[in-house]
Structures are given as C-alpha cells and as structure tokens.
Structure 1
C-alpha cells in the first residue's frame, strides 16, 4: 500500500514538531515539506486550541491542491475544540478531530489512514453536536427556502426522481402538472447551480448525497 502523503500545518512550531515526530518513520505515512503541500492526501492541523480562524491556512492549501481526486481532507489534532465549531469545520473539509491526549503514534497514524480512505474520525460528542447543528440548519434555513441538505429543492428532487425512473420531459410534466418549459427550467437550474454536467450527473449526485434513496 502506498503511504499517505501528509502535510502538517500549525501556528505553533512546538506542536507541529510533536506531530511530525509521531508520524516520522512510519511506513503508512510520507511527510511532505511546505513546497510540496499541494500534493498532500491529508492535511493534519495541529493546534493547542481550535478556532474557526485557524482553518484559514487549511482553506488556502485545499484551494491550491494538485491532488487528482480534489482537495485533501483535514484531520485536526487539538487540546480544545468547541462543539459549536463542528459544522463550520466539516464544511471546510475537516473529517476528523483527534484530542491531543489520544494522539499516540498508533492513534494518529490510524486516524490519518482513515481520513485518507474517506472515513470520519469524530469523538462521539462531536458527532452529536454535528447532527444537532445539521438539524438546526435544515429546519431554520433550508426547509423554509424549499431546500434540502443536498442543496436540491423539493421541485428539483421531484423532477430528478422521475428522470431516474426513465421518464421523458413531457412525461415528467404530466406527472408533476408542470409545463415542459418549467420542467426544463427546474432541471437546468439544479444542474447549473451545482456545477453538474447533465441530468444523469444530477441524478447520480442526488443519489450520492442521499437525497434520492
């Protein structure tokens, strides 16, 4: 198995040195210098106390990423993490939070490998906080505006569900009591807003995000 390429970011050189020391010399991890950070598979952000502003360097690294699969996920190693920052962190590419007390070499390497594989590594209390914040976002922001967590509106989902069933535009119009022009407008709006290629791509996106079961 190829080692996971990791770049360690920290505003505290001592904290960074500690994380680098834990990851050095392991077969599963390849540490990258600053000059090669755009090639990272995983970013490890090490801070004594996590706050939303500490994500700014991570956002910059992800924006300049040269990774073929897109911006790398971020794993946070910290002594203090406010539960209220969970959703903002996840939206910025954070997939894991590892309390410093649990950052042994084995624990840190395991979390890095899991992050690279696409798994979330969140303490139980942060999982609960994230779910609570998502419920609040859905009920107070999205649903009043006819949207879902996928970013798709209810009309868009209705149309995409019928596209997934193989119906043509005219058939979808009859099913939903829309004009054909409205159906086309609804689907085009979703495709353009989400940066998708076509109707098939939109259906795949809706399924992947769980909006279409």
Structure 2
C-alpha cells in the first residue's frame, strides 16, 4: 500500500512537533519536508486561529502545480469562524478538528479520510455549511438557472433524460425544443466542465450528486 504523504504547516514549532508525534503512530503516513510539498497528498494546517487568509493560502498552494490535483487539507485549530465554512470547503478543506479534541486516532482518521473523500466537521460547522449552501442555491444559483453541481437546470434535465435511455429526438420532444437545441445544450455543458462524451456527462452528474 502506497503511504499517504502528509505536509504539516504550523507557525508554532512546538505545535508542529506535537502533530508529527501524533501522526508517527500510523505506519501508512509519510511526513514530508517543506521541500517535498509538491508531492503531498494531504496538508495538515495547524494554527490557533484559522480564517480567510489562511484558507486562501491553502487554495493557492493546491493550485500551484498545473494539471495536478492539489492535496486535501485537514485543519486543526482553536478558533474557526463558522461563516468561513463554505469557503473552507471550496479551498479544499476536508476536515476541521478542534485542537482540544485532536487525538492521534482522530487525526489519523481525518488524514486517511481526506484521501478517500471523507469529511469531519464539528456539528456547529456542519449546520453552518448546510445553511450557507442553502443560501447559495436560493440567492445565487437558482435565480441564474444553475445548480450546486455546476449544471444549468436545462443541462441537468437533458442529462437526466440521457441517463434514462432516451434518444436525442425523444429528449427534444419531452423538452419541447429542437434536436439542435438539445445537442447545443449538451455540448455547452461538456465543454464547460471538460466532459468527453454523453456517458462521461451522466457519470459526472451522478458523482456530483446531481442525479440520484
């Protein structure tokens, strides 16, 4: 099994040493030096207070290597503003752990989970994230015909019918438009989201939760 490569960022050297000690209990984790940051699978960010500035630094780090997915981030902190929860997720944060409850077992679970798409958030931050997603959908996306998945409403209607096995002419009939419009809608979604074909579009919609 390939080890999980972890980069630790902490302005306090004592805090960093503590995290290193916690992670060394796990054989599957390899702790990187600063010079190896480009190869990290997971970034552990540990600061007394984490806000928009620190999160933006995570976002910039993840975007630093073109065409390579950036590392997911686990945050350990004493203070985190719940208003930044959605921004944290957008920056690649998969888990936020209160420092006072950060045991070796909990941290290892968060790091391993980050590589598998799992998340850990305190209950209060979970509620904040759901509320912020609701506001985003209601006030920004829906008025512009968009969904959280990135598909426009008509694109999603088209892809849902493709997933149900309908042909282009049948989709056009159901959506009361021309076959050319169906093809243009689908082509626009595929180009914007980097999708290769109809099957890829359906798979992407399912993976994003847009189709269940």
TM-score by length of 2: 0.92
Is 1:186 aligned to residue 189 of structure 2?
no
Change in Cα spacing, 1:47 to 1:111, as seen in structure 2 (3 Å) is same
| Structure 2 counterpart SS, 1:36 | helix
Q: CA deviation at 1:123?
A: 0.9
Change in Cα spacing, 1:75 to 1:151, as seen in structure 2 (3 Å) is same
CA displacement, residues 7-63 of structure 1 (integer Å, 9 cap, x when unaligned): 012334343233223223531321011121121121101111011110233223322
CA displacement, residues 166-212 of structure 1 (integer Å, 9 cap, x when unaligned): 22222211121101121111111111111211221111111111211
| Structure 2 counterpart SS, 1:6 | strand
- Aligned pair count reads 212
Change in Cα spacing, 1:194 to 1:66, as seen in structure 2 (3 Å) is closer
Q: Give distance in 1, aligned partners of 2:169 and 2:83.
A: 47
Is 1:50 aligned to residue 50 of structure 2?
yes
| Structure 2 counterpart SS, 1:98 | strand
Which residue of 2 is the match for residue 155 of structure 1? 154
Is 1:3 aligned to residue 3 of structure 2?
yes
The answer to which of 52-61 and 84-93 deviates more is 52-61
Change in Cα spacing, 1:36 to 1:67, as seen in structure 2 (3 Å) is farther
Aligned runs of 1:1-213 on 2, under 5 Å? 1-24=1-24, 26-65=26-65, 70-213=69-212
| Structure 2 counterpart SS, 1:151 | coil
Q: CA deviation at 1:135?
A: 0.5
RMSD: 1.9
**2:2/2:28 contact within 8 Å kept:** yes
Q: Give distance in 2, aligned partners of 1:3 and 1:67.
A: 22
**2:25/2:104 contact within 8 Å kept:** no
**2:78/2:100 contact within 8 Å kept:** yes
CA displacement, residues 55-109 of structure 1 (integer Å, 9 cap, x when unaligned): 23322332235997x3221100001011100000001110100011012222222
Unpaired segments ≥5 residues, structure 2: none
**2:5/2:32 contact within 8 Å kept:** yes
Unpaired segments ≥5 residues, structure 1: none
**2:83/2:128 contact within 8 Å kept:** yes
